[in-house]
Copies of this chain bind each other. A is one copy, B any other.
């Protein structure tokens, strides 16, 4: 499937993982897709460095506490992100991708100029964006999870797909990539389902999805042709 070649490390910074409902949900989704790495002090610098060096995509995953990472993750950044990890010229992580999966206790639309929380999530995450820049890592658009506890089943299904794509798909992802990704996942699912009729249904769903995408590709090509003709 797409993305298996890429090694993704999910670094989870949460002071009380046992109390979290979001993190177990995400952990189950990350299976086979990423290395799950919950932070616990004291850190073993050797192990932390190995995990970071071996990853292609590093995801910092945490609840937003006072508009930034929780203390446990800041401690990890302060202690581990030194010259031994980064190299004297800060090149040892260069070329990797840095992503952020941040969960909010407040509605996402409270963030922004003139809103209750004053600034956008992007603005509050500047320190991590600065870290990416200083270490030569590509900065992925953050995946924001608002008030997971209040999400409906449909919202959680959407989150599940978005999260798994965030771990594995080239970012920023194109619509066609996301469709292809879904088709591959349906295929994998069909192989795991024992009942033949269920398997057949999943196969049909996959066929419909791919046929729609083919039609969409045709329409897009036609539209491009029309536009090009109009220019003359």
Helix, strand, loop or mixed for chain A's interface? helix
With A15-B78, A74-B74, A123-B123 as known contacts, state yes or no: A67 contacts B118, CB within 8 Å: no
Whether the Cβ atoms of B71 and A75 lie closer than 8 Å is yes
A sample of 16 cross-chain residue pairs with beta-carbon separation below 8 angstroms, ordered by A number, consists of A15-B78, A65-B74, A65-B78, A66-B77, A66-B81, A66-B127, A67-B126, A68-B74, A69-B74, A71-B75, A71-B78, A74-B75, A118-B129, A119-B130, A124-B126, A127-B127
Query: Which residues of A come within 8 Å of B, CB atoms?
Result: 15, 65-71, 74-75, 77-79, 81, 117-119, 123-124, 126-127, 129-131, 133-134
Docked CA distance A129–B124 (Å): 10
The docked-state distance in angstroms from the alpha carbon of A116 to that of B144 is 28
CB-CB nearest in chain B for A65:
B78
Other-chain residue from B74, B75, B117, B130 in contact with A130 (beta carbon distance below 8 A): B117
B-chain residues with CB within 8 Å of residue A77 when the two chains form the complex: 65-66, 71
Additional 14 contacts, C-beta under 8 A, given A124-B130, A127-B127: A66-B130, A67-B131, A68-B74, A68-B127, A71-B78, A74-B75, A117-B130, A118-B133, A118-B134, A119-B126, A123-B123, A123-B126, A124-B126, A124-B127
